[in-house]
Each structure stands twice: as C-alpha cells, then as structure tokens.
C-alpha cells in the first residue's frame, strides 16, 4: 500500500480509507486514537479532511496494526521512537508487493502463451 504519486492538499475520509484499504469507520477511529499524529482539518460541513502528513501516519499505523499485529499502544510507541525503521518496512513491503504482482502478471502471460500453443 503506497501513497498516491499525485499528492493532494486534502483527502476525504472515504479517499483515505480507499488508499489504506480499510473502512471509513476505522479511519475515523484511528484519527481519534492518534490525535498527537493525525490532525485532520474540518470543512464547512464538519467532515474530516486529511493532509498528506495525516495520510503518511495512517499508512504507518495500518502497517503496524494490520500487518505487524501491534496493539494501538504499541503502534503509538513505535511511531514516537522508530519512524525511520517503520518507513523502511513500509517501503520494503511496497516493493515486495509490486514484485509479487509483476510475477503474477508474468505467470499469467506465460499460461496464456501455453494455452495458445496447445490449441495449435
């Protein structure tokens, strides 16, 4: 799960949820649980609007809680002390995910090629 290349000024809750692959309810919950890191602005309607910095923290929290299995308190402590280590893990996980999807695509193309050769 990698941040979009086109960084926007603000992301809605639904956009934030889509980026990290979680529900809007969970994004709101994490925003409430990590106020020292995530400080969404509010629009005129009162909806949360997340900055790029907020999104970076949501991605880190997602990695720590959902992928590494940390508790919320464990994630909080890790964010306070190991920001660079967390960023490295997220970057490596993103690269590995990309490599895996590339390999799956290559395998799919090879299978399609075998199917064409068998039909001849």
Domain count, the chain: 1
DSSP 44-103: TT--EEE-HHHHHHHHHHHIIIIIS---HHHHHHHHHH-HHHHHHHHHHHHHHHHHHHHH
**pLDDT recorded at residue 6:** 59
Q: Which domain holds residue 111?
A: 11-119
Predicted TM-score of the model (pTM): 0.65
In a domain, 2, yes or no: no
In a domain, 6, yes or no: no
In a domain, 91, yes or no: yes
In a domain, 104, yes or no: yes
Give 47-100 pLDDT, tens digit per residue.
999 999 999 899 999 989 998 899 999 999 989 887 656 666 666 666 777 788
48-50 and 41-42 beta bridge pairing? antiparallel
């Amino acid at each position: 799960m990698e941040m979009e290349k086109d960084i926007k000024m603000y992301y809605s809750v639904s956009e934030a949820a889509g980026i990290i692959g979680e529900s809007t309810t969970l994004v709101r919950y994490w925003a409430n649980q990590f106020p020292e890191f995530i400080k969404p602005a509010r629009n005129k309607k009162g909806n949360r609007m997340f900055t790029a910095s907020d999104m970076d923290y949501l991605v880190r929290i997602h990695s720590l809680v959902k992928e590494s299995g940390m508790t919320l308190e464990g994630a909080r402590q890790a964010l306070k002390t190991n920001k660079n280590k967390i960023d490295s893990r997220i970057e490596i996980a993103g690269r590995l995910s990309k490599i895996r999807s590339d390999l799956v695509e290559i395998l799919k193309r090879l299978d399609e090629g075998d199917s064409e050769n068998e039909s001849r």
